[in-house]
Structure 1
């Protein structure tokens, strides 16, 4: 087979033919192409000579395709349309449509959502699909590109690109402290209303485990068992604390904004740094696509303090 560039007419001839065939007029084709009617006629004649076929029958003020011309027009029209579609696609930013991100409900609500406007402003071409669940998700089965996972590395299904430790301590609203006449630094949470949780995530630290880590004895655990308020979602315990209902477990990273704004305050000086950390992960054995790489870099910048 001869090379295409030698077996095909020039693109200029084919473009002129396509315009004339579509418009049914050399004059209209000349106007569309920005040339004279004589130039169009000459190019059509050159194409007919090259193919040794008559492509048009000349009529009064119009031209009519011959069977050979109609067959060529159909093929050339489809080819030009496909080229136009591909060129338009190539002109778009080289970023896949969507990045699927796995997060816990609390991380999504308290940390990620407040920061997404910054990402959207900086990377408007990247579309995000957020999948929130408090139970660990298998990145491969859930078809996730990136996840923020709280746990112990290494992971069987994921590679960690960055991590950040967490710190747990009691928090309450200023309104509750004012009502009880308690200063945050001197608060004795054993004698304050506790907000308990029945969260099923194995990485979660309930009051009993927090007290055990600090060797505070069993009293705090018993007090939490007697709590009048129990929730199975962390966001509900935080909202109850914001409403002045009692003391909840505060997580420094999750509540970073809430603590900075003073809507909740830390009580006392006791705290626990768990072995678990927040990990920014991608599926094992799969390189992040360009859009996922953009999100990863942005997350590292925002999540890991020393990377900022």
Structure 2
């Protein structure tokens, strides 16, 4: 591994001297490591000139492979490394909430708190604040979560939506329309069948237009006029206001679940996390006003 790291530096910088300076060793040590690697591979990796070195075809192949591998290792380390600075805050949320609700509002937070660095993690498989390196979590669930404290909730209303003009009736029969579904990983998100049950409607068929693994895809497909999707009002409010979506019928469901703001109970909040949670509490409350 030492010889490979030395070779990668020399190949990237095209010089033994510059590689030695980067690695903090002597030029002779770099040359020795390269020779050992060439002996191991039984092929030259560099063409040595008077003032410069060039990669051989074999050296070029190895250089490309090592650079890609080291980049992947570096990215993996950056992903799993827990920040030590208190102004770096990791926020977790579902992809749909991140895309539709949070990202449009983040410029306001960043303008108010430019010193706070945010790391955003979006996934629909859920989080465990007892082990996941997340400082603030927004999760659609009941306001109870192991290892976490709920600071605020944002209730929601769910109703069918489609592109303007897709349906002309005021109260259409949903079982006669192409329904867009999602394969929810978390069972707390409503399916068409459960929504119909809570809305006191006859059972609806399973989604028969198309199914997605992500809520964002379902909404964009509905906006393109390919079917009817379930709309969480807090997430698609802008699309309803600007006319990209319209509500169908008068039936709606207010689930017992809500968008809940959680913080871990197993570790103290840093200053940046406190700024973020205070801002989110205020925005949650403003959305309900």
Query: TM-score, length-normalised on structure 2?
Result: 0.67
Contact 2:172 2:249 in 1 (8 A): yes
Task: Compare CA radii of gyration and give the structure with the larger one.
Answer: 1
Gaps of 5+ in 2: 1-84
Moved more, 238-247 or 150-159: 150-159
Offset of 1:162 from its aligned partner?
0.6
Task: Give the SS at the match of 1:294.
Answer: helix
Gaps of 5+ in 1: 1-94
Cα offsets for 1:244-275 (capped at 9, x unmatched): 10100000111122222221111111111111
RMSD, aligned CA? 1.8
Task: Give the SS at the match of 2:195.
Answer: helix
Q: In the alignment, does 2:110 pair up with 1:110?
A: no
Q: Give, in whole Å, the separation in 2 of the partners of 1:278 and 1:286.
A: 22
Offset of 1:172 from its aligned partner?
0.6
Equivalent of 2:141 in 128, 138, 151? 151
Find the counterpart in structure 1 of residue 122 from structure 2.
132
Offset of 1:154 from its aligned partner?
2.0
Cα offsets for 1:224-246 (capped at 9, x unmatched): 34x13111111110010011101
Contact 1:158 1:284 in 2 (8 A): yes
Q: In the alignment, does 2:118 pair up with 1:122?
A: no
Contact 2:130 2:146 in 1 (8 A): no
Offset of 1:98 from its aligned partner?
0.7
Q: How many aligned positions are there?
A: 205
Find the counterpart in structure 2 of residue 279 from structure 1.
260
Find the counterpart in structure 2 of residue 78 from structure 1.
none
Q: Give, in whole Å, the separation in 1 of the partners of 2:284 and 2:92.
A: 15
Q: Give, in whole Å, the separation in 1 of the partners of 2:265 and 2:123.
A: 20
Q: Give, in whole Å, the separation in 1 of the partners of 2:183 and 2:133.
A: 29
Find the counterpart in structure 2 of residue 33 from structure 1.
none
Equivalent of 1:203 in 163, 170, 188? 188
Contact 2:130 2:266 in 1 (8 A): no
Equivalent of 1:172 in 162, 174, 198? 162
Contact 2:209 2:227 in 1 (8 A): no
Task: Give the SS at the match of 2:234.
Answer: coil
Query: TM-score, length-normalised on structure 1?
Result: 0.63
Q: Give, in whole Å, the separation in 2 of the partners of 1:119 and 1:187.
A: 41
Moved more, 149-158 or 104-113: 149-158
Equivalent of 1:217 in 199, 202, 207? 202
Offset of 1:175 from its aligned partner?
4.3
Find the counterpart in structure 2 of residue 60 from structure 1.
none
Equivalent of 1:302 in 275, 283, 286? 283
Contact 2:156 2:233 in 1 (8 A): yes
Offset of 1:303 from its aligned partner?
1.8
Cα offsets for 1:80-119 (capped at 9, x unmatched): xxxxxxxxxxxxxxx8231000100000000001111111
Q: In the alignment, does 2:218 pair up with 1:237?
A: yes
Cα offsets for 1:111-165 (capped at 9, x unmatched): 0011111111111111000011112201231111101011112221110011111
Find the counterpart in structure 2 of residue 228 from structure 1.
209
Contact 1:301 1:307 in 2 (8 A): no
Q: Give, in whole Å, the separation in 2 of the partners of 1:247 and 1:209.
A: 16
